[in-house]
Structure 1
Amino acid sequence: MAMAAAVARRSRRLLRLLSSRPNPKPASLSSCSSPSPSFDTPATAGEREGDPLSWRLLRLRSPGAAAAAIDGWAQERGRVSRPDLQRAVSQLRRARRYGHALEILSWMESRKELKLLPLDHAARLDLIAKVHGTSQAEEYYNKLNSASREAASFPLLHCYVADRNVQKAESFMASLQSIGLPVDPHSFNEMMKLYVATCEYEKVFSVIDLMKRNNIPRNALSYNLWMNACSVSDVSSVQSVFKEMVNDVTIEVGWSTYCTLANIFKKHELNSKALACLRTAETKLSTTQRLGYSFVMTCYAALGDSDGVMRLWEASKCVPGRIPAANYMTAILCLIKVGDFDRAEWIFGSWEAECRRHDVRVSNVLLGAYVRNGWIEKAEKLHLHMLEKGARPNYKTWEILMEGFVQSRQMDKAVNAMKKALSLMKSCHWRPPLKLVEAIAAFFEEQGNTDDASRYIKLLQKFNLTSLPLYKSVLRAYIKADTVVPTNISEMIARDDIVMDEEMDHLIIRASKIDIRGDV
């Protein structure tokens, strides 16, 4: 019993490192809206007063700035404590600022008085994987001592599962067992997640059998994954597993299990049973925490139940505390999915009345829906409204507008949106969708507009976005206009390492018959 308790405590610590939810997330419906995204939300006034170091670090944007900020803090205060740094790492990870969080742990390792503890090493391995990839995380793991390696084993297994690398995950699990490291329910759950993701359902049953033989307790997520594997064949086996779960005195059946059942029943077109499960899931939701409301909401949306979505939304408003922007987004997404735009716009209006700043990530949800439905004027009106409120468009805003302008053949506006989006590329990894890039080039080609085609290709060249189809469009525009071709076009193609094909050779031959003029 003592060993089981120790393993359980270790498991809980490791799960917190990976920011996992206390109630396991149900398997998502293929037709269901995505779960609520995470937000890098500014700290409240209370948070700023209670944890000024974390607040200072959360404001950083430049890579490599965390170490300098901690040095400055240490000089101002005379010292910096381990709890302050660990709390900052935790907050940065929740905000998905993995690079800065990793910088803090690297800074700690460089200080003799702040030697990294095993759980610090586990957190660092997880961050290395997120920032630099699994191979570097493996290198880090192999350099750790036995205590730190034990702590970091679960994060490394999680890396293999995230990469869907069955061979490495299985080999790693076997090595953990062979050297006697504790293997707890969470490690087996990770393996079952992997097998479900790779459609190797028989292996899920093997994992369950192994857990039973070795008296490894199953938790709610274990049962949920087991039921999902059974659902591939029939519903009766799912119901048998659920019955076993209900009879397991160590398990409290929560909202996630009923959402899992609802997903399964929907997949088998048993919608009335799915709705009954969701009604039960509602009774399992906490009245003090928001966790779960968005998931149940998305399940109702997948079943086309607008009233169910709104009922969950109204119930979530009774939970104490400020409603996060992400929750507003989920509700709007769900209502859009069921085609209830009036209620979606009403919730957007409620968000505007309550928000402290106009965040385009919320308005982008509505903006995208307008564009997908061909309501470009409505989309432009919303965009201008957000600008008036001081919102700062992000790359997704411009991408959505680009798509709308291309659909409505407003190419001048599409090119302007492209320029706005490209100006943000220095601060993110976004790249414009190829279909939109080529659609604009095709429009210039159709018009025989060589001036705009040339300016467009030069703009894209600055961002390494040129391609063979784009150069073909430029040449066809010159051929259609019967206009002289720039002398440096071949140099541009060579500089961009464009691999030619037979069609391009023919276009060059045709274009060469037109008199040559100066550079683009």
Structure 2
Amino acid sequence: MNHLLLRLVRPKPNYILRSFPFHSTTVPHDNLQRRVARAGDPSASILRVLEGWLDEGNPVKTSELHSIVKMLRKFSRFSHALQISDWMSEHRVHDISEGDIAIRLDLIAKVNGLGEADKFFEKIPIERRNYHLYGALLNCYASKKVLHKADQLFHEMKDLGFLRGCLPYNVMLNLYIRCGKYALLEKLLREMDDGNVKPDIFTVNTRLNVKP
């Protein structure tokens, strides 16, 4: 069984705390997220900030790490976000959810490329490849305008019953627009009508504004 499975099966604590004979040296109103936010050099490892925080005897909660990853992604600090995500997995901070895996997949694609993202996806146990993971991989392909892979995955999602709601359709509609594939766009819009897929505002705007 691969290392990913080993990390998924054990119950994990929702925090990490290193024991030291001295008290925490953090100053009032200081916290890990503020330190990470200030450490903006993309060429430097963000783990030195995390390890330094732990070395001072401070606890790290799972919820705090999730918030830090979210913040780093928001400000396009994808390499740092991936380092934190990898650290959480390596240290088995908590039970790894499909949402965590989907975020890690997206970060791998952004930092290391689609090839590494594909390899990571293939290592995920089949029973854990749910709607969220397929959707994350579809977004990776669409963001890089890899049309043939996106089309293939979209049809695989259809066969698996993972085309829930209009979100996957919108990803493909946006990709067709960016690639200038208006015939495919019109075909997919018809499929949505035939399948009674409820549109959202993006779908409606696509119908109104996109012209070949």
Q: Which TM-score band (shorter chain)?
A: 0.7 to 0.9
CA RMSD, aligned part only?
2.0
For 2:140, the equivalent position in structure 1 comes to 159
Query: 1:99-498 counterparts in 2 under 5 A?
Result: 99-145=79-125, 146-229=127-210, 231-232=211-212
Shift of 1:56: 0.7
Q: Aligned partners of 1:62, 1:152: CA distance in 2, in Å?
A: 27
3-state SS, counterpart of residue 113 of structure 1? coil
* Count of paired positions: 183
Shift of 1:78: 4.2
TM-score between both structures, scaled by the size of structure 2: 0.78
Letter in 2 for 1:56: R
Give 5+ residue unaligned stretches, structure 2. 1-27
Q: Aligned partners of 1:211, 1:152: CA distance in 2, in Å?
A: 22
Q: Aligned partners of 1:139, 1:212: CA distance in 2, in Å?
A: 35
Aligned match for 2:36, one of 37, 57, 78: 57
Q: Aligned partners of 1:113, 1:156: CA distance in 2, in Å?
A: 24
Q: Aligned partners of 1:192, 1:213: CA distance in 2, in Å?
A: 16
Any conservation in 2 of the 1:141–1:149 contact (CA below 8 Å)?
A: no
Any conservation in 2 of the 1:122–1:148 contact (CA below 8 Å)?
A: no
Aligned match for 1:97, one of 77, 97, 113: 77
Shift of 1:148: 4.8
Structure 1 runs of 4+ aligned residues shifted over 6 Å read: none
3-state SS, counterpart of residue 159 of structure 1? helix
Q: Aligned partners of 2:204, 2:131: CA distance in 1, in Å?
A: 26
Q: Aligned partners of 1:221, 1:159: CA distance in 2, in Å?
A: 19
Identity between Structure 1 and Structure 2 (%): 26
Q: Aligned partners of 1:113, 1:193: CA distance in 2, in Å?
A: 37
Letter in 1 for 2:36: L
TM-score between both structures, scaled by the size of structure 1: 0.33
Any conservation in 1 of the 2:42–2:77 contact (CA below 8 Å)?
A: no
Give 5+ residue unaligned stretches, structure 1. 1-47, 233-520
Higher relative contact order (CA 8 A, sep 6+): 2
3-state SS, counterpart of residue 60 of structure 2? coil
Letter in 2 for 1:52: N
Any conservation in 2 of the 1:185–1:217 contact (CA below 8 Å)?
A: yes
Q: Aligned partners of 1:95, 1:164: CA distance in 2, in Å?
A: 22
